[in-house]
Amino acid sequence: MTTARTSKAGRIATWPCGRRTKYLVVAFWLIVVAVTGGLAGKLQGAERNDASSYLPASAESTQELNLQAKFTSPNLNPAVVVYTRPSGITAADLRKAEADARRFAALPAVGGRVAGPIPSPDHQALETIVGADLGYNANISGFISGLNATASAGDPGLAVHITGPAANAADEIKIFKGIDTTLLFATLAVVVALLLLTYRSPVLWILPIMSAGVALTVAEAVIYLLTKHGLTVNGQSAGILVVLVLGAGTDYALLLIARYREELRRHEDRHQAMAVALRRAGPAIMASAATVIAGMLCLLVADSADISGLGPVAAIGIAVGLVAMITLLPALLVIFGRWIFWPIRPRYGSAEPTSRGLWARTGQAIARRPRLIWVITAVLLGCAALGMIGFKVGSLTTAQSFRGTPPSVAGELVLARHFPAGAGEPVAVIGNASAAAALHSALAATPGVAAVSPPVTKDGLVYLQGTLTSQPVSQAAFATVDRVRDAVHRIPGADAKVGGGTAVTMDVESYAARDRDVIIPLVLLVVMIILGLLLRAVVAPLVLIGTVILSFGAALGLSALAFRHLFGFAGEDTSVPLFIFVFLVALGIDYNIFLMTRVREEAIRSGTRRGAITGLAATGGVITSAGAVLAGTFAMLGTLPLVIFTEIGFAVAVGVLLDTIIVRSVLVTALTLDIGRWMWWPSPLARRPAGEAAADVASGARVH
């Protein structure tokens, strides 16, 4: 039966590289791209980037938002128009602001929802709040531009700024539009450059890029279809999808091409060489992808929709990338033949260069003092992890979340100089109308609330708004919301819910922290089980998971130092550590699997010590190249001017480089050499000395 299964798997492996079937594989992918290409372009239009869409129905701010629909449109997104004159607002300025307010009120998207102009206490500014019934969509950018054009017309001495949630949304939409252009082309440029350096061929890089591009198109189309059935996709997950498919897909291409090139030196027929490469490298690549997919799907247990939505988005991207790289890429490589490697074509019968290269010498050097090397390496990585001490993890203010100062942030800073910092984004309270007076009194008496709106009652409910004295996204504002919740929840029979922009952000942070505490141990458990099944051991998975945790800590520590001293960031967004962990663990396991499956393959033939050195020599170069590509693609997230993208991209890039250059190649190799055959305990391989394993191979015996 084992022979039958092996034969069946062998026949499947020959499909992409068969003399006739290779053309069928390429034709199949051409048809798939033709069918899905139009759908992929619609994904950006299906994104949901408003913070409230991230929350579960159980969140208090979500409940308040649902009740608020009785009083206001659920798509209401206010803009704040601020007029300033340092010498003092004049009567003419006031008349102009009043005329502008009437024009704003007449706009179809506003429908008369205008408050102001309101003079500032220092008489140097005017504030007009304009309620836009546009929600969070592309139309809001044009709306903000129209407000600015109207308000700016006239006396140039009267400065005008547009801020508030609507203006913030307009700035973010402009940034997310760059994902489809700036990020994609920057990532492609990095991948192409690194592939040129890796292969030193002016043509070979085209095939992996082509295959990855096909995978990205198909993945985006599948994800777009799933958004029609409840999947939440935002600009963050769409951007990560681009770098993940291009980065991980190119990694799989590098691993397969490395084995294919190795087999071309052993087989004269390129079809046979690819079939052998797929049979030998394919299982490790598929296991690596399956581990990443399983790790990403762990995100589904998250309460936060932006985190749970990223799980299937990333899993689909990896799955499609895997299928493309083990079907389309092999077919293309075999069609083009050996010349695609020009000018360094692998000739039949030529020596394998990895047997005498840098990583072969590195393995031999580590083998002299493996324990000393792994102890020193582990201590240095542990010291790097200390960089996390004292670095803030939590929601950033609107100003802190952007790199640079977009117009909405500039307006927010001006508004805060002349009005209460929370003007334009109040805390909202909805409760039973019978408790209206008590709710109004409790809200007005709460420290941190500057003013309270008159109660509005409808359908047995009362709606109140309180202006915060602190910036809407700040620890001081969060503390005020906590105090408001404590105060109104104590009122008997009020059944009050507290929401608003600040409450939404605070709840997003709370649920993200809960998700982090649940998902991190779950991912570790899932990955450890998969490693145990793949390597048929207990010790090796435990060792590898330990190196993963150490690598994650070091990457986060070094990144925190860079964020604080190099970039000048105020802190890390709440979700950043979780995203970094999932990507580093899931993607880092790729390199673990590729290295350790090769080490195990060699250990069966010649023992663990020899297997560790040979495995590193055979895979060290390709793992380093794959890591450089993945690090380069994630680093391109920094081309977008949002702090969270820069933090994720930089930290993952640092972590991947640590993983491939130090952790996988040095630390894991040194540990394997020091632990020896007990690395494979309790499998039979742990009980076979090197000489006995070699004798088994010589006599045709198989070690399981």
pLDDT tens digits for 160-204? 999 888 888 888 777 766 566 676 777 778 878 877 877 777 888
CA count, 13 A, side-chain hemisphere, 566: 9
DSSP-based three-state secondary structure for 88: coil
- Which structure tokens are listed for 30? 């051409």
Any bridge partners for residue 35, and if so which? none
CATH architecture assigned to 1-40+181-351: Up-down Bundle (1.20)
Instruction: Give the distance, in angstroms, between the CA of residue 59 and the centroid of all CA atoms in the same chain.
Output: 24
- Say yes or no to pLDDT of 488 above 70: yes
pTM: 0.78
Q: Flag whether pLDDT at 337 surpasses 60.
A: yes
Q: Is 73 exposed, middle or buried (0-12, 13-18, 19+ CB in 10 A)?
A: middle
Q: Which fold has domain 357-403+509-704?
A: Multidrug efflux transporter AcrB transmembrane fold (1.20.1640)
CA distance 663 to 655: 10
> Domain 404-506 is of which CATH architecture?
2-Layer Sandwich (3.30)
What b/e sequence results for 15-47 when a residue is b if at least 16 CB atoms lie within 10 Å of its CB, and e otherwise?
Answer: bbbbeeebeebbeebeebbeebeebbeebbebb
- Quickly count: other Cβ atoms within 10 Å of residue 88's Cβ: 10
Do 114 and 129 meet the contact criterion of CB atoms below 8 Å apart? yes
The three-point CA angle 542-545-549 to 5° equals: 140
Using CA atoms, how far apart are residues 474 and 113, in angstroms rounded to an integer?
Answer: 27
DSSP characters over 281-295:
HHHHHHHHHHHHHHH
Residue from 468, 525, 543, 535 nearest 501 by CA: 468
In this prediction, residue 698 carries a pLDDT of: 37
Q: What is the mean pLDDT of the chain?
A: 82
Answer whether 523's CB lies under 8 Å from 582's CB: yes
Contact 292, 313 (CB under 8 A): no
Lowest average pLDDT, out of 331-335, 398-402, 645-649, goes to 398-402
Mean pLDDT score, 345-352: 67
CB distance 648 to 579 below 8 Å: yes
The closest of 672, 667, 664 to 607, measured between CA atoms, is: 672
Instruction: Tell me the two tokens of residue 144.
Output: 């903000």
- Decide if 682 contacts 538 (C-beta within 8 A): yes
Whether 1-40+181-351 shares its CATH topology with 404-506 is answered no
The rounded distance, in Å, linking the Cα atoms of 236 and 221 is 17
71, with CB counted inside 10 A (0-12, 13-18, 19+), is middle
How do residues 272-316 score in pLDDT, each as one tens digit?
A: 888 888 888 788 788 888 888 988 898 888 887 778 888 898 899
Instruction: Locate the domains of the chain by residue range.
Output: 1-40+181-351, 75-138+158-171, 357-403+509-704, 404-506
Residue 83's pLDDT is 93
pLDDT of residue 215: 92
